[in-house]
Amino acid sequence: MSYLIAGVIMIALVAVLTLFMGKNGGGSTKDKKTSNRNKAQIIKEANKKLAKNPHDPAGLIPLGDVYFSSQIWDKAYLIYNDLSKLDSKSGFVNLGECFLRLGISALQLGKNPEAVQALVSAYKINSVSFENNFYLGKAMFNQKLYEKSVPLFKKAILAKPESTGVYFLLAQSLYFAKKYRECLSFFKKALDEDPSNKEALFNMSDAMFQEGRGDRAIKIFMHLRADPVYGARSCLRAGIFHTKINDLNSAIQDYEIGLKHENEPSDIRVEIEYNLARCYFEKNQIAKGLALLKAIRNSVQNYKDVNSLINRYQELSQNNNLQIYISANSNDFVTLCRKFILTKYKNSNVKIQNIENDSLYTDILTEIFAATWQDVVLFRFFRTTGSVGEIYIREFHEHMSDVNAERGFCVSAGIFSEESKKYIEGRPIDLIEKTELTKILKQISI
């Protein structure tokens, strides 16, 4: 008997639980079916009214509600486009809501100009609404009208401070408007909301970099170097920073890691290759630098000064002494300049009296003893491959008087301006340009 009673109790419990589940968890499917039937009924009734009058608000409004809540954006757009053209005086149409929903639907469909137009109309009706400010700001952002999106996002935050996602869009707007300092605090708030937002992290560090806070930004760039999306760009920024502080080995490492990323944008890849080539040249790894520049030339015509750099460094690769003259360290450069003087006056006795190094040139004061004459001669060696202007030649002539030099030579790996050449007429100064310099350098053995 006890087993029978226990069985009855168990059956009763199962029945109660089944009934309870049917009313609660199991009822969700029924609710969905009911909801779908309700929507279908609303659409059916609305279409009946619109069949009689295509502009009947009594048909358009419920139909718009269904399509908008169901995120059927193309149909919602058409409905609210029709509603926006109706007379609001009848009391049937809420134009503020109509323009807002029209603008949101247009945004979702990628119709940015139409979205701006609709959302501006909604904003004119209510300029303090969170939705009107947020979505109009988003439309302006999509149009790259960042100066206009900034105040809209700020007003949206004032209207609803607890809203999520707005800080990021505001920070992005300020960043793209190049207001780097102002965007930083908003990026920090966006990262507080979503610490995994790599775009916010990269753009915040780039804003720091642009603001001259490279020492702070570099830590983030180094952290992001391996990221599949932002890695190449982070490597580029890290390389630029390390180049600026003359840490060429680290810069080369940054750029080489950047080139290992396979999915980076082509413009980023080309910029990395260009900067890496410049670093290679600084380290006298000319063959590596030339290979990169030639790859750039094959993919992008007339990129920056690639063609002139190729011509310059191809010549350097064929003339080791010219390479030393332009690119070597100060000690090797001065050694080469001394040998240049000895080669030019190879049949005379040369005494070096003084050597002065400047950031732009090196002066070597000499006393030359020949068989029939004796002179104090001042040499000035310019390492530039560009044009040397008259102002430097005038200053050189004055310096000759200061050191009692009777003759002077200005030597350059580039050329001298026409004004420089006119200035030396009638003065004891000779200008030696790249062509003559190269001939003399070929006679020197180091």
Domains of the chain (ranges plus CATH)? 37-318 (1.25.40.10), 329-441 (3.40.1350.10)
- Name the β-bridge partners of 407: 377
pLDDT confidence tier of residue 31, bands split at 50, 70 and 90: low
pLDDT band, residue 206 (cuts 50/70/90): very high
* pLDDT score, position 314: 84
What's the pLDDT score for residue 18? Answer: 42
| Beta-sheet strand order (sheet of 361-369) | 349-357, 361-369, 374-382, 407-412, 429-432
How far is the CA of 253 from the CAs of 9, 22, 277, in angstroms? Answer: 76, 65, 12
Radius of gyration of the chain (CA): 38
90 pLDDT tier (thresholds 50, 70, 90): low
This prediction has a pTM of: 0.68
**pLDDT at residue 12 in the model:** 45
Cα–chain-centroid distance for residue 307? 24
Structure tokens at 8: 């009855």
CB atoms within 10 A of CB 245: 12
**What does the pLDDT average to over 93-112?**
94
pLDDT of residue 87: 67
pLDDT higher than 70, residue 4: no
What pLDDT, in 10s, does the model give residues 157-166?
999 999 999 9
pLDDT digits (tens, 9 = 90+) for 207-254: 999 999 999 999 999 999 999 999 999 999 999 999 999 999 999 999
pLDDT at residue number 285: 87
What is the average pLDDT across 410-439? 95
Q: Round the average pLDDT of the chain to a whole number and report it.
A: 88
Of 444 and 268, the structure prediction assigns the larger pLDDT to 268
pLDDT at 46 over 80: no
Residue 35 has pLDDT above 80, yes or no: no
Cα distance between residue 272 and residue 220, in whole Å: 18
Whether 396 contacts 377, CB under 8 Å: no
Tokens of residue 147, six digits: 């100066």
